Amino acid sequence: MHHGTTTATQPPATTGRTGLWLVGARGSVATTATLGLAALAAGHAPPTGCVTAAEPFDRLALPAFDDLVVGGHDVAPTTVVKQAEALADAGMIPGHLLAGTRDALAAADAEVRPGHDPRHHQGSQQEAAETLAADLVAFRERHRLDRVVVIDVASTEPPLDPVPEHDDPELLRAALLDPDRAVLPASSVTAYAAVLAGCAYASFTPSAGMTVPVLTRWATEAGLPVAGRDGKTGQTWLRTVLAPAFAARGLRVLSWAGTNLLGGGDGATLADPVAARSKLTSKNRGLRDLTGTDVTPLHIDNVPDLGDVKVAWDHVHVEGFLGSRLTLQTTWSAHDSMLAAPMVLDLARLLALAHAAGLAGPVPELGYFFKDPWGSDVHGAAAQAVELADWAGRTADAVARRP
Amino acid sequence: MHHGTTTATQPPATTGRTGLWLVGARGSVATTATLGLAALAAGHAPPTGCVTAAEPFDRLALPAFDDLVVGGHDVAPTTVVKQAEALADAGMIPGHLLAGTRDALAAADAEVRPGHDPRHHQGSQQEAAETLAADLVAFRERHRLDRVVVIDVASTEPPLDPVPEHDDPELLRAALLDPDRAVLPASSVTAYAAVLAGCAYASFTPSAGMTVPVLTRWATEAGLPVAGRDGKTGQTWLRTVLAPAFAARGLRVLSWAGTNLLGGGDGATLADPVAARSKLTSKNRGLRDLTGTDVTPLHIDNVPDLGDVKVAWDHVHVEGFLGSRLTLQTTWSAHDSMLAAPMVLDLARLLALAHAAGLAGPVPELGYFFKDPWGSDVHGAAAQAVELADWAGRTADAVARRP
Amino acid sequence: MHHGTTTATQPPATTGRTGLWLVGARGSVATTATLGLAALAAGHAPPTGCVTAAEPFDRLALPAFDDLVVGGHDVAPTTVVKQAEALADAGMIPGHLLAGTRDALAAADAEVRPGHDPRHHQGSQQEAAETLAADLVAFRERHRLDRVVVIDVASTEPPLDPVPEHDDPELLRAALLDPDRAVLPASSVTAYAAVLAGCAYASFTPSAGMTVPVLTRWATEAGLPVAGRDGKTGQTWLRTVLAPAFAARGLRVLSWAGTNLLGGGDGATLADPVAARSKLTSKNRGLRDLTGTDVTPLHIDNVPDLGDVKVAWDHVHVEGFLGSRLTLQTTWSAHDSMLAAPMVLDLARLLALAHAAGLAGPVPELGYFFKDPWGSDVHGAAAQAVELADWAGRTADAVARRP
Amino acid sequence: MHHGTTTATQPPATTGRTGLWLVGARGSVATTATLGLAALAAGHAPPTGCVTAAEPFDRLALPAFDDLVVGGHDVAPTTVVKQAEALADAGMIPGHLLAGTRDALAAADAEVRPGHDPRHHQGSQQEAAETLAADLVAFRERHRLDRVVVIDVASTEPPLDPVPEHDDPELLRAALLDPDRAVLPASSVTAYAAVLAGCAYASFTPSAGMTVPVLTRWATEAGLPVAGRDGKTGQTWLRTVLAPAFAARGLRVLSWAGTNLLGGGDGATLADPVAARSKLTSKNRGLRDLTGTDVTPLHIDNVPDLGDVKVAWDHVHVEGFLGSRLTLQTTWSAHDSMLAAPMVLDLARLLALAHAAGLAGPVPELGYFFKDPWGSDVHGAAAQAVELADWAGRTADAVARRP
Ligand SMILES: NC(=O)c1ccc[n+]([C@@H]2O[C@H](COP(=O)([O-])OP(=O)(O)OC[C@H]3O[C@@H](n4cnc5c(N)ncnc54)[C@H](O)[C@@H]3O)[C@@H](O)[C@H]2O)c1
Ligand SMILES: NC(=O)c1ccc[n+]([C@@H]2O[C@H](COP(=O)([O-])OP(=O)(O)OC[C@H]3O[C@@H](n4cnc5c(N)ncnc54)[C@H](O)[C@@H]3O)[C@@H](O)[C@H]2O)c1
Ligand SMILES: NC(=O)c1ccc[n+]([C@@H]2O[C@H](COP(=O)([O-])OP(=O)(O)OC[C@H]3O[C@@H](n4cnc5c(N)ncnc54)[C@H](O)[C@@H]3O)[C@@H](O)[C@H]2O)c1
Ligand SMILES: NC(=O)c1ccc[n+]([C@@H]2O[C@H](COP(=O)([O-])OP(=O)(O)OC[C@H]3O[C@@H](n4cnc5c(N)ncnc54)[C@H](O)[C@@H]3O)[C@@H](O)[C@H]2O)c1
Ligand code: NA
Ligand code: NA
């Protein structure tokens, strides 16, 4: 492949200073991650909710929280500070943490560059991607970072209709150069930019991103680790905890019905049934695989008065011994971004490790973090947790043994 | 040790015809297990809810369902058939399955012998145990069984106050021989009888049973595998599925409050706060271990109109990132005996395997089935499931390699 | 108006023998009502769930349960007996009640006549209505009934698009006579037949039925009491119990989100999003009126494995003092037809009273029974209960004072 | 009766400036009421959650919110300001409201006098009551109030064991004068003080307070309106909304099981099983009356991490038509003091009205506000709401017609 603005460099053998580049840097998840990172680094809060802060990951050589430097792309004018204020007013972020991290938030916002906005873009998608990639390279150089991990936490896009260009490098390259064509959604232009800039990449959204086959291939060829997609933070996580447990008991799930209520930015986006379709598809995939039933009706409702609180109700109908029936209902209520943010930090640390180890292409063992795990068919959370811990240990050992 | 009526014979190298001796044979769990076994053996129902009927256990040489022969002890006059009719009237057991298993239930009831009833017993506890052991031996011989597995599914007893006799073989032996003393509860007299008769043993109740230290020692010396205690079938199982999942996420459980509603025989027994204490203790042990919090208020209420349906509500309060809070509520509703019965059958098959393999003393890997696992500190259901599968595979291999 | 086959006669002054004509006579609700009526009449079951069996209605001169004679229309071939067997197999109807009512069910099925099926009908809608009306008249005469109450419990139809004919008697009359036009849905052809036959009428479905303005006018002119629409039996009833209670506290409902799971015939019908639209509209109308919020997302999912069980979850988000927030969640689980059937019997008795009292047109005080009460803006269940009791007392007095 | 420090004066014919004297003035409920009153009076918050701010009460001549002056008794040193800060830190009270009401809180705290603390009191209970009464009289005079309403929102006391003194004025008078005896609990000493000072009185706690028969008689003789007991704010209110609705449907409640989780001051108090007994008794009384079942197991658990949030789960098991079963579960989650505070303000306004109207003794129509309504057997919330509105209208008319 050709690399517009950079070449994939041989990753250094340590996991040193790492850039965390957030696409959607001014959104709710990104702001919470940025604020949280500053609070952790300053010792104002413990790393509760971070997988990598607990056993066995805490024994591994991952970049420390205060080795992470934040920047990102966004298309909205509201600054990270303003977003944090709004989240504090809504009761999600405690006032004293906001007070203690204002400077760090302003510093992060100073690193935010205009994202790719298809509605206003002029010129070819190749140009768009190169502009984004240049931002990444400049960020890496400006802060003398060992590496940069790009994480997409931008608004969910509608499902992508496949076209031949997605599967054929030549066709795609040609289309990218044609200013009159736009064969990639914004999330995939961004993913392509990460490849061009030689960055590790993760997609925390259900958007297409790196799933366009040619992009995955180019990332692999460039020796870049990638992971996705759609953060498994709440209801879906819970389902992938429970479903394998029923299976282990020999109990047969007949139906698994659910509903989600949420407000905030994500609620407003998903109020659009087309955008919601991406999300619903990725939420149900693992469940069907784990249970064998396809009676899994699921809804997402925009309930603005809930703000960033997500409430999810599930009703599981199960067949037991001698045709008997049992039901399990769960109600989950949580600040959605508070679940997502520590996982974003985890991914930054673990993809830094993967990059240091020279891994290329989808990292299946990072499936723990995703509703729709790239490169993996394992959906059960307990099995994924074991896989993740094994992988991280093995990979850290490999990096350590490097000359 | 001295063996009143038998000696522990070298177990045969196969897992052939196995006796399943149910203490509390006319209770709800035992009746459901007996009826279910007959229905499975006759092909009237699939083995839904049996752990050992699914992968990877279905590939192992365990006794087949129709290799199991049922007998038992009870102190109640209501026959197994009458109990089954009552459960069918209450809507728990489908009419057609009752119709198809009446003969098998009558046959099982013909194998029921009077249990040890401390209120009416005259003579020493040694004599009581020998009488019970003789029933076991006669059962094994009458049906030419390769081995007998005793499973205690009798009414829950109040917690046992420890006395020196429980820890000292000499003292215990002397007390057992003294007709004026009764240092063991009924469940432990029964456990002792299993040892005397050379039977594998499991306790599905929170009663003391084999937990008296000297009894465990005698069982081990006699080369008998034992497992317990208190079947982990519903709410507690669910908790041990969920709690490790929170821990893996780095989320901190602040409190886990719950309540149980049930009717039926077990509900009536547990309406006695003293009996309930045994149950509550064993229900909370694993939870505290898994979460690190001791704010785990829990109640059991007798709600007669629910019959055998157990309804359990849990409220989990969790601290997440930056001090945020999330709640999970679960409501579980199931016919309790329908959950327990297939696990009783699983235990019979797996203890037959353990006996065939010559294992002696507590089998920690059977902890999957129990709220308070003997010989193990592992409480998480997913970890236990992995342990169980590994153990069963290994043990079956060992049996197969026998000359 | 012209009356094809009958004229509205002056109703007799007593509430004597009453026909209950069920449109959808072989459906789940109708079968349950028919079986229940037989069980009540035979003294095999108490009238639990019948509003009119309790205070203060039990003191009024309403037709006795054994004064009700059942007949009806349906388009399905499955007999009432077969439907009852299916409901018994599914665990909804107890076996002994089915056994004790088989003859009554067969007798009722013998009174079932072919309903109006638009897909197969040939000829004008006037002819169709007259055929149905002739069935009603023949039923009344065959059984020497004082009066007949028609209750529509047929499958929910899609929402009706209004046309000028619905508002203009001349236009409607002309269209009805034209064999090439079909301006009324089946439910309204049936409602028209009730008018033609001089029968009281209630609509337990969300279908258009008597809501076509000209039909209501003709019913009123014919001196016939009518009531509707869409039985308020479960979730909606619960909402109209709770919403006024919040209002009385000065608490402000911000959002009321809900979901419904059900199987059975109704579940299958409502799996069609167009049919579900009628239902969702009528479910939400009262709620918005009572709470003042329009954030009331609501779903109906077809979950076949639940059979006739309806499970409904609601999440109510409320603003309290000083901007504080409270939530109420409710989970309702019930056999839907078991809720509807006794209300159908109540309506038969109360419409017989209304007819005996000579009331014409919509009876607003029967709004208690309906999601979308004709002639009334009162939605609160407690206020409706008071209105209903007052009305029934007053009306029974008026009938009693008749010469 | 003899009045130590005052005589009951003829109440003036208007409802003018009113003192609100809170027993337990520094507790959570009192602080929230005080802060809320200041916020309402200053126009910083709407009166959401106040019954008397909505129809039809808003048309009546009740004392305006800014006609209420707050004082009270307490035995704790923490000031109202400190308590409010704690509640703000816990996320219950919004920061901006605290900022805007600091002065008012400090002013209220300056009106707090030492309450009666039996552990430290020396001298007779008559002396204790007279000291408290003198505080009330001084408060009334200092602020030139038309009247004072005393509301007990102090910590719940254990149930009171009856003694003959409680029923016999002569015996009680003698005991009160005896420095070596303490026949009244603190709450009743306080209630007696209200009588001595000629104040209207309400008990928002389950404590004995005015329920000592001789005290009620003295209050009546002194022409003072009294109301109680135990504020019906959350779970119990919900139950008395639902239970009458089931009854109106002819549905039969079989069992109603529930559990409560709460932290805060009230949680800590009720962690004592003896204190909890008072609460549980008063919570279940109405429910049993309304449903006819006595299967109403109920628990209160102290869950400190919930703070002032009360979470209540109920499971209602109901028999419907033909012996069918339905279940309703409810989960309620609210800041307890935010529910109570506006009702405390309502009671102040309504008791001022009652006092202005010259009503003496228990006011049954205020039963709407209480779990255990004095002078009334009506428990259903909807019926109580109608009674309350009628009474308030009638009473306001009577006051207005005064010369
Ligand atoms: N628990 C969770 O919060 C969770 C879990 C899984 C997935 N996600 C996903 O994470 C994403 C972010 O969620 P959120 O709550 O922060 O949403 P949000 O609406 O608050 O933030 C999204 C941000 O993306 C920006 N954006 C939109 N298009 C962009 C583009 N082309 N380039 C750069 N920035 C762009 C927006 O301006 C906004 O600032 C969503 O896709 C959501 O589905 C969140
Ligand atoms: N899901 C479950 O059902 C479950 C889960 C865990 C544990 N358990 C335990 O299983 C046990 C059985 O439950 P159940 O619902 O069948 O109860 P049950 O009351 O229906 O049956 C208990 C039986 O034990 C008999 N019994 C009492 N004392 C005896 C004695 N000394 N010797 C022999 N028999 C005696 C009784 O007569 C009765 O027939 C209980 O201890 C229960 O706590 C059940
Ligand atoms: N709790 C409740 O069950 C409840 C509450 C409110 C409303 N409803 C309404 O009651 C109706 C009946 O519900 P169900 O569960 O018995 O449904 P069902 O599907 O079991 O029965 C409907 C019956 O109507 C018959 N039918 C269809 N079209 C007809 C026609 N044109 N003429 C005559 N018969 C016709 C069908 O053949 C079927 O036998 C539905 O509209 C439902 O929405 C039920
Ligand atoms: N929704 C509700 O909050 C609700 C509902 C019904 C009843 N209540 C009752 O209201 C009362 C107050 O609840 P809270 O949450 O404010 O409790 P809290 O513990 O926060 O406050 C109680 C206050 O009473 C004070 N006190 C104790 N003994 C006293 C005495 N002898 N004289 C004067 N003051 C005394 C304490 O010092 C404390 O300041 C409790 O009895 C509770 O049961 C509250
Ligand atoms: Na209406
Ligand atoms: Na009373």
CA dist B220 → B199, B200, B213 (Å): 11, 10, 11
Separation between Cα atoms, residue A278 and residue A257, nearest integer Å? 18
DSSP for D178-222 reads: -TT---S-HHHHHHHHHHHTT-EEEE-SSS-GGGSHHHHHHHHHT
Q: Is D322 left (phi over 0), alpha (psi -120 to 50) or beta?
A: left
User: What number is the average pLDDT over the span C290-319?
Assistant: 93
Position A166 confidence tier, pLDDT thresholds 50, 70, 90 = very high
Sign of CA dihedral D387, D391, D394, D400: negative
pLDDT at A117 over 90: yes
- Average of per-residue pLDDT values in chain C: 93
User: What number is the average pLDDT over the span A156-162?
Assistant: 92
Q: Tell how far CA D13 is from the center of its chain.
A: 25
> Is-same-fold flag (A18-231+338-401; A235-336)?
no
**Closest ligand 1 atom, CA of A31?**
16
Superfamily of domain D235-335: Dihydrodipicolinate Reductase; domain 2 (3.30.360.10)
CA torsion, points D303, D305, D309, D313, in degrees to nearest 10?
A: -40
Condensed to tens digits (0 to 9), the pLDDT of residues B130-160 reads 999 999 999 999 999 999 999 999 999 999 9
- Where would I find the H helices in D232-307? 235-248, 264-270, 273-291
pLDDT of residue A2: 39
Residue B346 in contact with ligand 2 by CB distance below 6 A? no
| SS3 label, residue B150 | strand
Q: C18-231+338-401 has which fold?
A: Rossmann fold (3.40.50)
pLDDT at D8 over 50: no
| CA B38 – ligand 1 centroid, Å | 56
Which residue from A241, A248, A332 is facing B385, i.e. has the nearest CB?
A: A248
Condensed to tens digits (0 to 9), the pLDDT of residues D46-67 reads 999 999 999 899 989 899 999 9
User: What number is the average pLDDT over the span C276-291?
Assistant: 82
The residue of C249, C332, C339, C350 whose CB has the most chain D CBs within 10 angstroms, and thus the best one to mutate to test that interface, is C249
Residue among D129, D190, D183 nearest D154 (CA): D190
| SS3 label, residue B12 | coil
Residue C79 in contact with ligand 3 by CB distance below 6 A? no
Burial C203-215 (b: 16+ CB within 10 A, else e): bbbbbbbbbbebb
pLDDT of residue D268: 82
DSSP for D324-348 reads: -EEEEEEEEEEEHHHHHHHHHHHHH
Cβ–Cβ contact D10 with A under 8 A: no
Contact between B198 and B150 under an 8 Å Cβ cutoff? The reply is no
User: What number is the average pLDDT over the span C38-51?
Assistant: 96
Contact between C396 and C353 under an 8 Å Cβ cutoff? The reply is yes
User: What number is the average pLDDT over the span C270-297?
Assistant: 83
Condensed to tens digits (0 to 9), the pLDDT of residues C199-237 reads 999 999 999 999 999 999 999 999 999 999 999 999 999
Separation between Cα atoms, residue C383 and residue C245, nearest integer Å? 11
pLDDT at C65 over 50: yes
Contacts of C358 (CB under 8 A, 6+ apart): C10, C11, C223
With CB atoms and an 8 Å threshold, state whether B303 touches D257: yes
CA dist A137 → A132, A152, C283, D135 (Å): 9, 17, 57, 75
Separation between Cα atoms, residue C158 and residue C292, nearest integer Å? 27
The encoded tokens of residue C248 equal: 């009385």
pLDDT of residue C235: 93
Please report, rounded to a whole number, the percentage of residues in chain C having pLDDT higher than 90: 84
Contact between A340 and A204 under an 8 Å Cβ cutoff? The reply is yes
Cβ–Cβ contact B324 with C under 8 A: no
Residue among C259, C234, C235, C237 nearest C338 (CA): C234
User: What number is the average pLDDT over the span D209-217?
Assistant: 97
Which residues, given as ranges, of chain B have pLDDT below 70? 1-15
Least confident range of A32-41, A92-101, D125-134, D143-152: A92-101
Contact between C336 and C271 under an 8 Å Cβ cutoff? The reply is no
Count CB-CB contacts under 10 A for residue A377: 9
pLDDT of residue C263: 87
Residue among D386, D343, D33, D21 nearest D193 (CA): D21
Residue among A71, A57, A58, A59 nearest A17 (CA): A71
The encoded tokens of residue D21 equal: 């004297």
Which residue from A51, A237, A382 is facing B382, i.e. has the nearest CB?
A: A382
User: What number is the average pLDDT over the span A360-376?
Assistant: 97
Pocket lined around ligand 4, Cβ cut-off 6 Å: D 23-24, 26-29, 73-76, 115-117, 153-156, 186, 204-205, 230-231, 233-234, 264-266, 269, 336-337, 339-340
Interface pTM, i.e. ipTM: 0.94
Contact between B295 and D303 under an 8 Å Cβ cutoff? The reply is yes
pLDDT of residue D282: 74
Condensed to tens digits (0 to 9), the pLDDT of residues A293-306 reads 989 999 999 999 99
Condensed to tens digits (0 to 9), the pLDDT of residues B346-392 reads 999 999 999 999 999 999 999 999 999 999 999 999 999 999 999 99
Contact between D194 and D224 under an 8 Å Cβ cutoff? The reply is yes
Query: What's the Rg (C-alpha) of chain C?
Result: 21
Separation between Cα atoms, residue C157 and residue C143, nearest integer Å? 31
Residue of D nearest to B309 (CA): D317
In chain D, what is the straight-line distance between the N-terminal and C-terminal CA atoms, in Å?
A: 29
| CA D153 – ligand 4 centroid, Å | 5
pLDDT of residue B15: 66
Residue among B136, B278, B263 nearest B195 (CA): B136
Separation between Cα atoms, residue D279 and residue D234, nearest integer Å? 13
Q: Whose CA is nearest to atom 6 of ligand 4?
A: D231
- Average of per-residue pLDDT values in chain D: 93
Separation between Cα atoms, residue A138 and residue C182, nearest integer Å? 72
Separation between Cα atoms, residue A18 and residue A198, nearest integer Å? 13
pLDDT at C8 over 60: no
Condensed to tens digits (0 to 9), the pLDDT of residues B307-321 reads 889 999 999 999 999
pLDDT at C259 over 90: yes
Amino acid at D362: P
The encoded tokens of residue D336 equal: 């307890």
C325-335 and D325-335 beta bridge pairing = antiparallel
Residue among C321, C316, C395 nearest C351 (CA): C395
Position C279 confidence tier, pLDDT thresholds 50, 70, 90 = confident
Residue B202 in contact with ligand 2 by CB distance below 6 A? no
The encoded tokens of residue A17 equal: 């200073």
Separation between Cα atoms, residue A200 and residue A184, nearest integer Å? 20
Separation between Cα atoms, residue B303 and residue A66, nearest integer Å? 56
Burial D193-211 (b: 16+ CB within 10 A, else e): bbbbbbbbbbbbbbbbbbb
Contact between B23 and B115 under an 8 Å Cβ cutoff? The reply is yes
| CA A304 – ligand 4 centroid, Å | 35
Side-chain half-sphere exposure of A332, counting CA atoms within 13 A: 24
Helix, strand and coil percent figures for chain D, each rounded to 5:
50, 20, 35
Superfamily of domain A235-336: Dihydrodipicolinate Reductase; domain 2 (3.30.360.10)
pLDDT at A43 over 50: yes
CA torsion, points B374, B376, B379, B381, in degrees to nearest 10?
A: -90
pLDDT of residue C5: 38
pLDDT of residue A3: 38
pLDDT of residue A372: 93
The ligand with the least distance to the CA atom of C72 is 3
Residue of B nearest to C92 (CA): B91
Burial C282-306 (b: 16+ CB within 10 A, else e): bbbbbbbebbebebbbbbbbbbebb
| CA C269 – ligand 3 centroid, Å | 9
The encoded tokens of residue D67 equal: 């006609």
Position C153 confidence tier, pLDDT thresholds 50, 70, 90 = very high
DSSP for B300-366 reads: EEE-GGGTTEEEEEEEEEEE-GGG-EEEEEEEEEEEHHHHHHHHHHHHHHHHHHHHHTT--EE-GGG
Residue of B nearest to D294 (CA): B303
pLDDT at D3 over 50: no
Contact between C153 and C112 under an 8 Å Cβ cutoff? The reply is no
Count CB-CB contacts under 10 A for residue C22: 30
Position C13 confidence tier, pLDDT thresholds 50, 70, 90 = very low
Query: Which residues are paired to D329 by β-bridges?
Result: C331, D315
Query: What's the Rg (C-alpha) of chain D?
Result: 21
C 73-112 residues inside an 8 A Cβ radius of A: none
Report domain extents, chain C.
Answer: 18-231+338-401, 235-335
The ligand with the least distance to the CA atom of B76 is 2
pLDDT of residue D283: 77
Cβ–Cβ contact B257 with D under 8 A: yes
Separation between Cα atoms, residue B325 and residue D303, nearest integer Å? 14
Residue C89 in contact with ligand 3 by CB distance below 6 A? no
Q: Tell how far CA A153 is from the center of its chain.
A: 6
Separation between Cα atoms, residue C326 and residue C314, nearest integer Å? 14
Contacts of D43 (CB under 8 A, 6+ apart): none
pLDDT of residue A15: 66
